[in-house]
Amino acid sequence: MQKTVRPIRTGEEYIESLRGRNLKVYLFGELVKEPVDHPIIRPSINAVAKTYDLAVEEEDLASAKSSITGERVNRFLHIAESAQDVVLQNKMQRKLGQLTGTCFQRCVGMDALNSLHSTTFEMDEKHGTKYHKRLLEFIKMVQHENVVIGGAMTDVKGDRSKGPTEQEDPDMFLHIVDRDDKGVYISGAKAHQTGCINSHWMIVMPAIRLTEKDKDYAIVGCIPVDAPGITYIYGRQSCDTRSMEPGDMDQGNSQFSGQEAMVIFDRAFIPNELIFMDGEYEFASMLIERFTCYHRRSYVCKTGVGDVLIGAAASIADYNGIPNVSHIKDKLVEMTHLNETIYGTGIASSYQSHKMKSGVWQNDDMLANVCKHNVTRFPYQIGRFAQDIAGGLMVTLPSEAEFRSPETGPLLKKYLKARKGVDVENKMRILRLIENMTMGRNAVGYLTESMHGAGSPQAQRIQIARIMQLGYKKKLAKDLAKVQEKGEETLENADYFKRVFKLDNSKE
Amino acid sequence: MQKTVRPIRTGEEYIESLRGRNLKVYLFGELVKEPVDHPIIRPSINAVAKTYDLAVEEEDLASAKSSITGERVNRFLHIAESAQDVVLQNKMQRKLGQLTGTCFQRCVGMDALNSLHSTTFEMDEKHGTKYHKRLLEFIKMVQHENVVIGGAMTDVKGDRSKGPTEQEDPDMFLHIVDRDDKGVYISGAKAHQTGCINSHWMIVMPAIRLTEKDKDYAIVGCIPVDAPGITYIYGRQSCDTRSMEPGDMDQGNSQFSGQEAMVIFDRAFIPNELIFMDGEYEFASMLIERFTCYHRRSYVCKTGVGDVLIGAAASIADYNGIPNVSHIKDKLVEMTHLNETIYGTGIASSYQSHKMKSGVWQNDDMLANVCKHNVTRFPYQIGRFAQDIAGGLMVTLPSEAEFRSPETGPLLKKYLKARKGVDVENKMRILRLIENMTMGRNAVGYLTESMHGAGSPQAQRIQIARIMQLGYKKKLAKDLAKVQEKGEETLENADYFKRVFKLDNSKE
Amino acid sequence: MQKTVRPIRTGEEYIESLRGRNLKVYLFGELVKEPVDHPIIRPSINAVAKTYDLAVEEEDLASAKSSITGERVNRFLHIAESAQDVVLQNKMQRKLGQLTGTCFQRCVGMDALNSLHSTTFEMDEKHGTKYHKRLLEFIKMVQHENVVIGGAMTDVKGDRSKGPTEQEDPDMFLHIVDRDDKGVYISGAKAHQTGCINSHWMIVMPAIRLTEKDKDYAIVGCIPVDAPGITYIYGRQSCDTRSMEPGDMDQGNSQFSGQEAMVIFDRAFIPNELIFMDGEYEFASMLIERFTCYHRRSYVCKTGVGDVLIGAAASIADYNGIPNVSHIKDKLVEMTHLNETIYGTGIASSYQSHKMKSGVWQNDDMLANVCKHNVTRFPYQIGRFAQDIAGGLMVTLPSEAEFRSPETGPLLKKYLKARKGVDVENKMRILRLIENMTMGRNAVGYLTESMHGAGSPQAQRIQIARIMQLGYKKKLAKDLAKVQEKGEETLENADYFKRVFKLDNSKE
Amino acid sequence: MQKTVRPIRTGEEYIESLRGRNLKVYLFGELVKEPVDHPIIRPSINAVAKTYDLAVEEEDLASAKSSITGERVNRFLHIAESAQDVVLQNKMQRKLGQLTGTCFQRCVGMDALNSLHSTTFEMDEKHGTKYHKRLLEFIKMVQHENVVIGGAMTDVKGDRSKGPTEQEDPDMFLHIVDRDDKGVYISGAKAHQTGCINSHWMIVMPAIRLTEKDKDYAIVGCIPVDAPGITYIYGRQSCDTRSMEPGDMDQGNSQFSGQEAMVIFDRAFIPNELIFMDGEYEFASMLIERFTCYHRRSYVCKTGVGDVLIGAAASIADYNGIPNVSHIKDKLVEMTHLNETIYGTGIASSYQSHKMKSGVWQNDDMLANVCKHNVTRFPYQIGRFAQDIAGGLMVTLPSEAEFRSPETGPLLKKYLKARKGVDVENKMRILRLIENMTMGRNAVGYLTESMHGAGSPQAQRIQIARIMQLGYKKKLAKDLAKVQEKGEETLENADYFKRVFKLDNSKE
């Protein structure tokens, strides 16, 4: 990685830090010279930059005092030292959602570091390895340098009915293909990686439960994003090329967007000191469960994005002169109700955190899944209501070029007038923002990513099924119904109700 | 009120304390001799008794150290001294929902005392009155004696398009009809009062915003439930008379139920030292808002009831030999998801509490409304899934008499067999429990009360509309859409987002 | 069967025809002397009687000219001779739902006769049997005598993971236990049989797909309801005993209700001339599919019941003085929208009927399942809206005895007043009707029966899955996406789209 | 209009007929030389062309014998002569939705001609005008020439709280600005006009209820699309410029799309013989109601589009090797259930048609609104399920350029492999089709147009409220509850239940 001034402080410094890297990024079949200057990529970089600026502007919200370095560090690099710390992740996420209207791409890294904290600790405990110490060294360094950590998890998977070693092509899951005394060489590909090109480091992790024969796939390690052997193929987003058009209206949100790419590893190298799992296959599922537990509740960010969309819908209703019509108001109430339901379930999950052996705090599993499951549903409903309020013009609006044209511009200014005092340009801008968030670039983040990120709906249902403690509930019912049975219900291992009835969730 | 041993300690002592009161209760047109011994009333008394027993069995959950008396007191009588205290109300409510499968009737009193704590303080601050001190004396007494406080709010209302003084009959809302130097005399009626007959004291409060001409209606005070001039007319519940039938199967939940009655006041007397508002009409809405804020989140109790119903559905699926059929499992997951969504929004509301001037902690208004609004929806869905899983037998099952009969009993035992090893009686009991909770006595509490208690759905929507801060959200949207307007959005007075972005919700 | 005047013409004559039968009906553990006079049973008889009266009052709607007898016959006994005939079944069902507010119990018989018409024809075609001719004789007789035919299908099933012959007790499914040259003897039990006690004849049919070893279970035949060896155990309904109380208010709908009972056969005899299937196991699934196809669309009756509930909700809103409040009106619109969605899908199914080989018209399978699937959902939503509009008083209303009492009656009249001009008794009656339909006796029919009758929700989903022609749809998608594949999609056997694109649905 | 060979027979001839017109179309601020050759416009022309080809390929479905000309004419130009004709419109619409996966733009014209048929007849009846005869002449001509008729309705509206004459600018609604003895001159603008550029003629109509002072706005007439004074500004669609990119994969559906434009009239001329309303303001609402009645049920086309999307989802599930996973199958069933619910309500509306005075058949109003109201909901749900099944790759898929590139193409072919035997290109194509239909060009038609076309959701609710006959329903409820009231419920004028209980819907 190219050396730049460290620690990075502001969004601007962050953007500068991305220049001149050795990245191999393809977009529309061509190698991108400098991602920072590419009009399609730049909005996603701006979104990450906002995470730096917020840490300056609202220090207590977006940074934290780290007991690892003793310094105040960006909260995305912080290891949660209390339930309150976990809650504050959510609050920061909502704020950034509000400020960018999109995915700011840093939660995977945050959630990966936190879940590795406890998992490496317990791996060492069992195997006498040194992963936890290595991880702490790494965290110390990144907290100090204030860099961006991406996490690469989802393998391309090939035939989904088959495991890693059963695939025709062993590269369908990332794995170790070689090793020497300095480290390991990995090959494979990770699909739809969020913000990887905008990161400085990438943590690779397995994404499925592994068995003994999958040992080579049980690799967790950290690698600079521009290491030799890594290729990025940029994903297309709905309406992505509008970012290459002149003007800034038709983009809707011209400044911010998300980013997803496919990352291909071809014998990429991870040095020993950056390896945090190497063959301990039985810990893969622990790591994944803890990561997804954090990550499913990280989707509280979407409530911040939801705030923007509710605001946009309220604005267009206002422009059209109908903000107090009862069915409009009722829809805004429903949008708010749904949005806050997501927020409430997320906050409750963070609040019901508990301390792990390693000292990090882990949020509640059941409520994290419930939160994410609501996220797979409610943004679609909120988006639908926004389209309802916006009216059909949202999808039939002429282009900005028309608005600027001497022939058609005056026609639009005449005929797109709304209630008195409303500027037609502003009306068009708000409509484009709603289009952007429900069909365009940021619909990718607000809708489809809400569906599939951190696990598709079915993944949450499977996890809820595992921990819903039916035995405990059946006993409640049988007691009230006066059912007496010889073989009494056994309580399952799940401990959700222990957390529910815990007397002080801020205590260990 | 009849004197009994005080403090009351156990459920049993509580039940004894109810005997021999001077209550005028009508049921089926007849005066009830002793409510404690009436088979229709008794299950509702048992439910309240459970709140005493829990305080003994799980002391930390269901009682608290009161700084008012310095004693450990039942949590239903405790003034919340921290956000954690508010959270623990929810946890206790869920537990009692699990143990009784019904409404245990004490939340109104708890929420009334807590909302009066801050409101009387602020009334005194403005008017130089002494209500807060009186209230503290009252609280001291009841905390020590450990008695049950009911709250009477909902007036019968008459013509709903008219206010208290516009009604043809002034008694449509409870009001002062006379006063002397000892106190005031009140007349009027309160509809569907929960658990009033099972209380020792009743706090009367207005239930709507009042204006200057409504001064006589601005009365808050406390009165023994058996004071002269009070008449109770017991409300019918679906399947209520099954409690009078022999046997205990057809009731479904023979031990516990809720209770609602109409309470009529005919010149009932409140002494001065028990008056907590007398004419300060402008504080009526403050009191109501704070009360409903607590109370809408108190409906977390329904998640405990939901746990029972999920358990019952899982039991019957098990008896039928189909617990692992995918659509059955999926429905149990959905029921759990909905139930925990209620819980999460409630806990988040309690967690986002803040300290009032008087020292009491008040939960978050937005999330309380969101919680209750989910309660008006999800129990109906959970109930529907339970009926789906239960199968039609739930509503075509022959009576217990049949099961006990020498003619038809053997036929039922032969033909209602399910999977091997399942006792037909147990299967019938679980089906009756599901009937009880979705159509019978406890459907009143689990469904209809979830709809209308603490305000019907529209009441929550109105409150959400008031505090949803559209100005703030419109600004977010306009900033991202690059809308520049002269008249910038003004931020409304609502302070939900201040609480959302508060750094430490356990601090003042 | 006891001889009475035939043909039966009016509801009154019908009721008389039920007297003095040799029925063995148990209710609350006791043998019922005369069902016609039992206050719990009578309302269900009244509902059936209405099907006679309607045929007199609206002859064209509720009767039809039969080409079998050449006479005008009750439509419930008519074999559909055109798509229009099938549509008219729906229209009559809606009307009867409106007039009774409950289940009038005759659809099973109608749908059984119609499905047997085509199935016996095709059985004879294959096996050279004489079932169709026998059936026609039987139809001729019942059309002429104008009697009620019930259908008995749902076996008690025992362990649901096992087939008829795998059960420990062979009687878990109805089967032939003996035969002589006159006929066959059957044993077993049918669960939750609708209106069986109110019928003159009962047609027994298998309810699951059968295999060769299940030959003894492949029995279809007709039997008088009071034949020796038949025992009925009456099912309890929510609030059933209110029908035994004095007065007629607390019942909500005192005149009409449904009826379900368990029917036990102990060597009951079916003579040869009334046997319509005897061992042809491979036709069991054809019969079931055709029957459920008719029957799933017969649930259009619930839209008539829904009309009543919408009317009740509108009435109470009116009494409360709030019929024009926007959220109330909006809920009435939503209730109507859902109710008419059921109607529309049902009518479309009937309209897309096609002529079978035997000459009878069979409705569309896909749309019948879609109709019923909506029925498993929307009445619950309509019921919930009705409770929302009704307010909490619906479940806390004192008893009629209170209203009639000299002590409490005047209090109720004073305090339950609504807007001027509304009689308190009428308000109470409407509230009790809503209780009746959402929690009480008729909630059994409107809600739970809507869920489970004619197959539980999953049964419809399985059938939709079988006929949804994914191959056809995949081809559409691939053509548009320009996908070229060697192994082209094969079109499945299902012929839904043939019916969709049929040019004239009134033609063969 | 330029003269080309008439009658037009095939899609190809139709496309040729569009060349060389005098159209003034702006797109991206520039005048379009030849719309037929513009890559963004062409797919919408192809969709219309399909309506010609279908009339050749499936003559009975997509054409009809007209009693006006005695010829077989395209069904889009046919005046419905029976209920069956109305039903066949729906069937043709579904088929075209299946074949194009988008909006084929001809329903407005068809529905306009049919609603004008009855309205002009009744105008003449009252006013002694000659509109109906003129209309018949026009229909004769277009049926013979086989041209495309567009309908222009939705005015730009300006301040929505104000009527036409109250606007600051009188042009906010289309109106007559001048007239001479040859005809009238009109000015104003129509927003989001579907397929207007692809039509030969455009019928202008008012879109709101008019009063006496709005006489100049009460103008209905027909005008060639390239008449002097007409300007078109093309609307942008999500991902529209992908149609200008090389290749055909990233478009998803490269061949077909919809089209919406703003149409500005600046003193455009309508000759007397093409005027069908001129000042008869009181008939504006009749025309609108009849038009929307047809048009709201015309959205059955979306079920054809839904078939494509279901097919696409099934295809991708198949490619991923998981077509039989239970939750996938269950989602496909739910998509089908929702899609067929739309179809059923539409068909039922068409089936319940009745004959108007003029001889044309008009479909059922209630069911048409119910159908459209379902259309505003279910496609969003179906789209969400499609995204669920598709997986995240749908929004992170690299571009076709990548697939064709020698550097990254092989990487994609290696890493995007699915189950054995699946071509990566085909998988990409299906994913792009799903993107196209849920976020891209055809999401405009499938989702947003489903919301707003033929009236936004609230418009249907208002209409349902008007015709839901609460008086009739209240009477049903009161009869069952034994409510006796002096002022009996009056039955409203609405006649929905007359149609419901009509004995033969194929008769007048």
In this predicted model, what pLDDT tens digit does every residue of D121-136 receive, in sequence order?
999 999 999 999 999 9
Q: What is the distance between the alpha carbons of residues D287 and D208, in angstroms, rounded to a whole number?
A: 10
Q: What percent of chain B has pLDDT over 70?
A: 98
Contacts of B172 in chain C (CB under 8 A): 415, 417
Q: Does the annotation mark C222 as catalytic?
A: no
Structure ipTM: 0.97
Q: Model confidence at B1, in pLDDT bands (50, 70, 90)?
A: very low
Please judge whether A311 and B504 are an interchain contact, meaning their C-beta atoms are less than 8 angstroms apart.
no
First-to-final CA distance of chain B: 40
Please judge whether A395 and D237 are an interchain contact, meaning their C-beta atoms are less than 8 angstroms apart.
yes
Question: C322, C326, C333, C337: best mutation site toward chain A, by most A Cβ within 10 Å?
Answer: C326
Q: Does the annotation mark B449 as catalytic?
A: yes
- Residue A492: predicted pLDDT: 63
Q: Would you say B313 and B387 are in contact if contact means Cβ atoms under 8 Å apart? A: no
Please judge whether C327 and A327 are an interchain contact, meaning their C-beta atoms are less than 8 angstroms apart.
no
Same domain, D338 and D477: no
Please judge whether D160 and A321 are an interchain contact, meaning their C-beta atoms are less than 8 angstroms apart.
yes
Q: What is the distance between the alpha carbons of residues D455 and D373, in angstroms, rounded to a whole number?
A: 9
Range C132-158 average pLDDT: 97
Choose among D467, B314, B29: nearest CA to C245: B29
Q: What is the pLDDT of residues B43-57, one digit of tens each?
A: 999 999 999 999 999
Chain A closest-CA separation from residue C452 CA (Å):
23
Q: Does the annotation mark B301 as catalytic?
A: yes
Range D245-258 average pLDDT: 97
- Taking every pair of C-alpha atoms in chain C, what is the biggest distance, in angstroms? 86
Range D271-291 average pLDDT: 98
What residues pair up with C151 in beta bridges, in sequence order? C203
- Helix crossing, A301-319 with A83-100: angle to 10°? 30
Q: Strand ranges (DSSP E) for A338-482?
A: 354-355, 361-362
CATH number, domain of C432, equals 1.20.140.10
- Residue D115: predicted pLDDT: 98
CB pairs under 8 A between B and D: 8
Residues 6+ apart with CB under 8 A from C162: none
Chain A closest-CA separation from residue B400 CA (Å):
13
Which tops the pLDDT comparison, C494 or C258? C258
Query: Within a domain: residue B421?
Result: yes
Q: Model confidence at B494, in pLDDT bands (50, 70, 90)?
A: confident
3-state percent helix, strand, coil for chain A, nearest multiple of 5: 55, 15, 35
Chain B closest-CA separation from residue A347 CA (Å):
6
- Tell me which of A190-194, A426-430, C154-158, D490-494 is least confident: D490-494
Same domain, D341 and D428: yes
Touching partners of B (3+ C-beta pairs < 8 Å)? A, C, D
- Residue D1: predicted pLDDT: 45
Q: What percent of chain C has pLDDT over 70?
A: 98
Q: What is the distance between the alpha carbons of residues B303 and D40, in angstroms, rounded to a whole number?
A: 54
Chain D closest-CA separation from residue C171 CA (Å):
33
- The Cβ of residue D484 has, within 10 Å, a number of other Cβ atoms equal to 12
For residue B7, whether the previous peptide bond is cis, meaning omega lies within 30 degrees of 0, is: yes
CA distances from A396 to A279, D20, D443 (A): 56, 25, 12
Helix H, strand E, coil C: the string for B411-469 is HHHHHCCCCCCCCHHHHHHHHHHHHHHHCCHHHHHHHHHHHHCCCCHHHHHHHHHHHCC
Q: Model confidence at A488, in pLDDT bands (50, 70, 90)?
A: low
Q: Helices in D171-325 by DSSP H: which ranges?
A: 284-298, 301-319
State the catalytic residue, choosing from B51, B102, B129, B194: B194
- Confidence check: pLDDT of C137 > 80: yes
CA D323, D327, D330, D331 torsion: positive or negative? negative
Q: Report CA Rg, chain A.
A: 24
By DSSP bridging, strand B30-31 and strand B63-65 are unpaired
Three-state DSSP class for residue D189: strand
Same domain, A333 and A377: yes
Three-state DSSP class for residue C283: helix
- Tell me which of A157-171, A371-385, C184-198 is least confident: A157-171
Q: What is the pLDDT of residues C401-427, one digit of tens each?
A: 999 999 999 999 999 998 888 999 999
Query: Could you tell me which chain A residue has the CA closest to the CA of D168?
Result: A420
Q: What is the distance between the alpha carbons of residues C69 and C77, in angstroms, rounded to a whole number?
A: 11
State the catalytic residue, choosing from B260, B280, B400, B435: B260
Same domain, A303 and A333: yes
Same domain, B443 and B492: no
Burial class (CB in 10 A: 0-12, 13-18, 19+), C92: buried
Mean pLDDT of chain C: 96
Tokens of B262: 């109409």
Query: Within a domain: residue D423?
Result: yes
Contacts of D248 in chain C (CB under 8 A): 482
Same domain, B399 and B323: yes
Q: Strand ranges (DSSP E) for C143-295?
A: 149-152, 175-180, 183-194, 201-204, 219-224, 230-234, 260-271, 275-278
Q: What is the distance between the alpha carbons of residues C197 and C178, in angstroms, rounded to a whole number?
A: 25
CA distances from B204 to A259, B183, B284 (A): 59, 14, 12
Touching partners of D (3+ C-beta pairs < 8 Å)? A, B, C
Q: Model confidence at C507, in pLDDT bands (50, 70, 90)?
A: confident
- Confidence check: pLDDT of D492 > 90: no
Q: How many residues does chain B have?
A: 508
Tokens of B404: 């006990």
Contacts of A392 in chain D (CB under 8 A): 154, 191-192, 260, 448-449, 451-453, 456
Q: What percent of chain B has pLDDT over 90?
A: 93
Range D316-323 average pLDDT: 90
Choose among B474, D258, D458, D159: nearest CA to A388: D458
- Confidence check: pLDDT of C2 > 60: no
Q: What is the distance between the alpha carbons of residues A358 and B224, in angstroms, rounded to a whole number?
A: 56
- Residue C227: predicted pLDDT: 98
Please judge whether B84 and A506 are an interchain contact, meaning their C-beta atoms are less than 8 angstroms apart.
yes
Q: Does the annotation mark C260 as catalytic?
A: yes
Chain D closest-CA separation from residue C14 CA (Å):
21
What single-letter amino acid sits at B376?
T
Give residue ranges of D with CB < 8 Å to any B CB: 326-327, 330
Q: What is the distance between the alpha carbons of residues B373 and B369, in angstroms, rounded to a whole number?
A: 6
Q: Model confidence at A66, in pLDDT bands (50, 70, 90)?
A: very high
Q: Range of A317's domain?
A: 297-346+367-465
Choose among A167, A149, A169: nearest CA to A220: A149
Same domain, D435 and D413: yes
Query: Within a domain: residue A395?
Result: yes
Query: Within a domain: residue D396?
Result: yes
Query: Within a domain: residue B358?
Result: no
First-to-final CA distance of chain C: 40
What residues pair up with C262 in beta bridges, in sequence order? C233
- Tell me which of A75-79, A478-482, D413-417, D490-494 is least confident: D490-494
Nearest CB to C503; choose among D88, D253, D505? D88
- Residue C3: predicted pLDDT: 54
- What is the H or E stretch that residue B260 is in? strand B260-271
Same domain, D393 and D496: no
- Cα angle value D294/D296/D301 (rounded, 5°): 100
Chain C closest-CA separation from residue B269 CA (Å):
19
Touching partners of A (3+ C-beta pairs < 8 Å)? B, C, D
- Residue C13: predicted pLDDT: 97
Please judge whether B99 and A476 are an interchain contact, meaning their C-beta atoms are less than 8 angstroms apart.
yes
Query: Within a domain: residue C246?
Result: no
Nearest CB to B398; choose among C159, C235, C443? C235
Question: A296, A426, A474: best mutation site toward chain B, by most B Cβ within 10 Å?
Answer: A474
Q: Strand ranges (DSSP E) for C195-300?
A: 201-204, 219-224, 230-234, 260-271, 275-278
Which tops the pLDDT comparison, A418 or A340? A340
Tokens of D70: 């005695």
Q: What is the distance between the alpha carbons of residues D281 and D285, in angstroms, rounded to a whole number?
A: 8
- Residue B324: predicted pLDDT: 87
- Catalytic residue IDs of A: 103, 107, 194, 260, 295, 299, 301, 449
Q: What is the distance between the alpha carbons of residues B407 and B393, in angstroms, rounded to a whole number?
A: 20
CA distances from B207 to A492, B455, C490 (A): 45, 10, 67
C321 φ/ψ sector (left φ>0, alpha ψ -120 to 50, else beta): left
Q: What is the pLDDT of residues A466-482, one digit of tens each?
A: 999 999 999 999 999 99
Query: Within a domain: residue B53?
Result: no
Same domain, D478 and D411: no
State the catalytic residue, choosing from D38, D78, D100, D107: D107
Contacts of C327 in chain A (CB under 8 A): 326, 330
- Confidence check: pLDDT of D174 > 70: yes
Chain A closest-CA separation from residue D455 CA (Å):
10
Three-state DSSP class for residue B325: coil
Same domain, B342 and B447: yes
- Confidence check: pLDDT of D487 > 70: no
- What is the H or E stretch that residue B346 is in? helix B326-351
- Residue D140: predicted pLDDT: 97
Q: What is the pLDDT of residues D6-46, one digit of tens each?
A: 899 999 999 999 999 999 999 999 999 999 999 999 999 99
Contacts of A327 in chain C (CB under 8 A): 326, 330
Q: What is the pLDDT of residues A215-242, one digit of tens each?
A: 999 999 999 999 999 999 999 999 999 9
Q: What is the pLDDT of residues A267-300, one digit of tens each?
A: 999 999 999 999 999 999 999 999 999 999 999 9
Mean pLDDT of chain B: 96
Question: A233, A263, A316: best mutation site toward chain D, by most D Cβ within 10 Å?
Answer: A233
Q: Does the annotation mark C196 as catalytic?
A: no
Mean pLDDT of chain A: 96
- Confidence check: pLDDT of A108 > 70: yes
Q: Model confidence at B460, in pLDDT bands (50, 70, 90)?
A: very high
Q: What is the distance between the alpha carbons of residues B131 and B129, in angstroms, rounded to a whole number?
A: 6
Q: What is the distance between the alpha carbons of residues C363 and C114, in angstroms, rounded to a whole number?
A: 11
Same domain, A303 and A445: yes
Chain C closest-CA separation from residue A1 CA (Å):
42
Same domain, D412 and D497: no
State the catalytic residue, choosing from C194, C292, C303, C376: C194
Q: Model confidence at C1, in pLDDT bands (50, 70, 90)?
A: very low
In whole angstroms, what separates CA B140 from the centre of its chain? Answer: 23
CA distances from C83 to C359, C360, D348 (A): 11, 9, 13
- Residue A1: predicted pLDDT: 45
Nearest CB to A401; choose among D28, D321, D439? D28
Q: What is the pLDDT of residues B140-165, one digit of tens each?
A: 999 999 999 999 999 999 988 889 99
Contacts of C308 in chain D (CB under 8 A): 473, 476-477, 480
| Number of domains present in the structure of chain D | 2
Range B413-426 average pLDDT: 93
Contacts of B418 in chain C (CB under 8 A): 158-160
Query: Within a domain: residue C401?
Result: yes
Query: Could you tell me which chain C residue has the CA closest to the CA of A331?
Result: C327
Query: Could you tell me which chain A residue has the CA closest to the CA of B427?
Result: A483
Q: What is the distance between the alpha carbons of residues D456 and A151, in angstroms, rounded to a whole number?
A: 44
What single-letter amino acid sits at A40?
I
Contacts of A334 in chain D (CB under 8 A): none
